[in-house]
Amino acid sequence: DAGVIQSPRHEVTEMGQEVTLRCKPISGHDYLFWYRQTMMRGLELLIYFNNNVPIDDSGMPEDRFSAKMPNASFSTLKIQPSEPRDSAVYFCASSLQGWQPQHFGDGTRLSIL
Amino acid sequence: EDQVTQSPEALRLQEGESSSLNCSYTVSGLRGLFWYRQDPGKGPEFLFTLYSAGEEKEKERLKATLTKKESFLHITAPKPEDSATYLCAAYPSGTYKYIFGTGTRLKVLA
């Protein structure tokens, strides 16, 4: 079975540019989660969706970040404009139900110069 | 404030030297506690779910246990391939927001 698929795996861009990260969850999973991982702060939840609807976006750091889930098989996390402090590894995860284990993609390593 | 703390931050073991990793949590109305393994350049890989105090789960050389305040990941006779970062996460009642600890980096030497 295909796991969670994220693209791109690596992204290097200059400050001020728009960045779009993509995620395809496991088919049939109703929950989708976006995380950011840094050495300083570890894994932090940014936002999660249930049946394509955003449920909790309290972890989104500021208005420069936005996330959408237009259908059950695709989600995007967008940063506009990007800043060097946004450099991190961004993970997407999905779960069958909210109380069940989350399954993670291999992440997007983002570097903002 | 809900919090998950893992110790030690790093651990070096000789092959075959058993040990335990600790995950302490202060979470209002714990609904579930999860253990993950993360290899460099990869996403966290699910290992175990524990839902109530006293529960235990085992998989190969790993055994996870849960009390009302903490969870332990026991590693019996580890091998070099067990080297990874081990993360625990908890979620409180009323939400499905996992709160992750910062992990324990385990290195097993041959």
Interval A93-106: pLDDT, tens:
999 998 889 999 99
What pLDDT shows up at residue B96?
84
In chain A, DSSP assigns E strands to: 5-7, 10-13, 19-24, 31-38, 42-50, 53-56, 65-71, 74-79, 88-95, 103-104, 108-112
Bridge partners (DSSP) listed for residue B108: B13
What pLDDT shows up at residue A2?
83
Mean of pLDDT over chain A = 95
Residues in contact with B64: Cβ distance below 8 Å, sequence separation at least 6, in sequence order: B35, B47, B48, B50, B56, B57, B58, B71, B72, B73, B74
Residues in contact with A65: Cβ distance below 8 Å, sequence separation at least 6, in sequence order: A46, A77, A78, A79
Q: What is the pLDDT of residues A26-46, one digit of tens each?
A: 999 999 999 999 988 899 999
Q: How far apart are alpha carbons A75 and A78 in whole angstroms?
A: 10
Mapping DSSP to helix (H, G, I), strand (E, B) and coil, where does residue B106 land?
Answer: strand
Residue among A84, A98, A73 at smallest CA distance from A22: A73
Residue B72 tokens, joined: 């332990």
Q: Does A90 touch chain B (CB under 8 A)?
A: no
Residue B38 tokens, joined: 């993360």
Which residues in A lie closer than 8 A to residue B96 (C-beta atoms)? 31, 48, 55, 95, 98-99
What pLDDT shows up at residue B56?
97
Q: What is the pLDDT of residues B45-100, one digit of tens each?
A: 999 999 999 999 999 999 999 999 999 999 999 999 999 999 999 988 888 889 99
Q: Residue A62's pLDDT band (boundaries 50, 70, 90)?
A: confident
B26 contacts B3 by C-beta, under 8 angstroms: yes
Q: What is the pLDDT of residues B20-50, one digit of tens each?
A: 999 999 988 888 999 999 999 999 999 999 9
Which residues in B lie closer than 8 A to residue A48 (C-beta atoms)? 96-97
What pLDDT shows up at residue A1?
63
